[in-house]
Amino acid sequence: KRHPDEDIFGVQIAAGFPDMYTRVCEVIEKEMDVDFVDLNLGCPLDIMCDKGAGASLMLRDKKLKDIVEGVTNTLSCPVTIKMRTGWDESKPIAHKLVSKIQSWGFDGVGAVMIHGRSRLQRYTKLANWKYIEVVANSQSDDLPKIPLIGNGDIFSYTDYEEKIANDSINTTAMLARGALIKPWLPTEIKERRHWDISASERLDILKDFTKFGLEHWGSDQQGINNTRRFLLEWLSFLYRYIPVGMLEVVPQQMNHRPPVHMCGRSDLETLMLSKNCQDWVKISEMVLGPVPDDFLFEPKHKANGYK
């Protein structure tokens, strides 16, 4: 659902078969106001890959060609493609796949985004930006080039500027987990600063999220439950942020684990640093009221990208 403040709005779709993609795009074209549609070739989850979707599509050239042809013929907006380096870290294939997509010559492919990790890596180890550069340089000079956007481990404005300094990928870069952990990251990039945002300012962001959630799902009990569930999932990312004023070395690195039992500069900041699910529930109660006595929460996304 597009918010009035969103100047650019797109949707990502994932499926295992060309006809499924085409039918979804027919609905998008008829019913939705979007600026782009992204094809998901990056999801590493078994539940997706076992159905022929997500990262498994990188291994199926013919099927992917049929998908790209179908969606570009159906949509009037640009199509982007998000992929990983390949299935296995030791056998990257994105450079070959991007060259094939370029050779297919379908009008409407607006960009390819490369996450610098393989499917089997998921989110472990550092993103391989040197390989992203290889992918960018793999396209033929004799054909129209597809804009290449890199993705992985951007957690500060200095990370962003370092990544786009390369001549091959200097258009822009994609934010992912960094923006989930630090939703103010785009502001840092725009203003070129490390923002020591206060705990109260961060709580205001959660209040805004809650307001939008209740507007979307409703303020009845079901709406509150849905809003709380998504808020708690988000808090499973937010706690990983270490305030700038508490860092020994700035900026924080994406793959560095926050210290255990870290104390903040206020009670609220300490609570926000906690990796205990029950403390996330307490934060949710500050904006959504108390939970039932038998309420339990287990995060869907568990951090495994630390060293």
Q: Which residues are catalytic?
A: 43
Amino acid at residue number 10: G
3-state helix, strand, coil in the chain (%, to 5): 45, 10, 45
Token reading at 105: 């010559």
Listed residue (48, 59, 45) closest to 20, CA to CA: 48
Cα distance between residue 207 and residue 40, in whole Å: 31
> How many Cα atoms within 13 Å fall on the side-chain side of residue 284?
25
Element (H, E) at 80: strand 79-84
> In terms of DSSP H, where are the helices of 138-266?
157-164, 177-181, 185-191, 199-217, 221-238
